[in-house]
Amino acid sequence: MRCPKRFTIPGMHMSGMRQSVTVITVLSAIMLFASGCATEPGLNKEKFAELSRASQDLKTAIRSGKPCEFPETLLQRLASGTAALKDKTASQAERDLLSAYSHLLTTYKDGLLLCESRDHLTGFDFVPKGRIYVTQELDPLVEKYDLPTERHLYRSTGKYWRSISADSIAVIWERAEAEIKNIENMVNYN
């Protein structure tokens, strides 16, 4: 069926009109969507420079062979650095990076808690050498890191208690190293 002559534009065939309508529709859609899309700023690496240095220092301390003996100022640097940037992230990439640093800080605190607990009650004969007595404070770490425990009986009271290997600290430091690697990847690929 042919269109009546009154609907045609002189010098233009129907296929040309359809093409023009399609182009106008596509351009309108692009302009409509493009005006609503604003690009988010990227990752400002300089903003995270101090946290980056602190995480590298932590990595060095872990690999030193004496990860329980590094200065507490490292903890303070990580804590103050994450707190300082809490409300100063400008993009999702920066929020994700700050979250990764916060997880690293938590893992670091967990490691320090386990380090401090290594010598707790070791002066008593009922705690076997090379074991850490699992206190209520350590229970969440045992669960969180799925640390294997041993069950012991304290004969004088008939009560049972649990212990973990003194080497369990390695599990937490391995997690910290994996988190540092994740942070490095986030910085390098954003």
Q: What is the pLDDT of residue 39?
A: 60
Segment 165-174, tens digit of pLDDT: 988 999 999 9
Segment 43-85, tens digit of pLDDT: 888 999 999 999 999 889 888 878 788 778 888 999 999 999 9
Percent of the chain past pLDDT 90, that is, above it, reads: 45
**Which tops the pLDDT comparison, 186 or 6?**
186
Helix (H, G, I), strand (E, B) or coil at 165: strand
CB within 8 Å of 82: residues ≥ 6 apart: 51, 98, 101, 102, 105
Q: Angle of helix 92-117 relative to helix 169-188, nearest 10 degrees? A: 160
Q: What is the mean pLDDT of residues 162-189?
A: 93
Q: pLDDT band for 93, please (50, 70, 90 cuts).
A: very high
Q: What is the pLDDT of residue 117?
A: 86
- Ordered by start, the domain boundaries in the chain are 45-188
Kindly give the residue spans of alpha helices, DSSP state H, lying in 64-144: 73-85, 92-117, 139-144
CB within 8 Å of 165: residues ≥ 6 apart: 130, 131, 132, 147, 148
Residue whose token pair is 């003996």 = 69
Q: Give the C-alpha separation, 156 to 53, whole Å.
A: 51
Q: Give the C-alpha separation, 98 to 104, whole Å.
A: 10
Q: pLDDT band for 130, please (50, 70, 90 cuts).
A: confident
The pTM is what?
A: 0.74
Instruction: Assess whether pLDDT exceeds 60 at residue 10.
Output: no
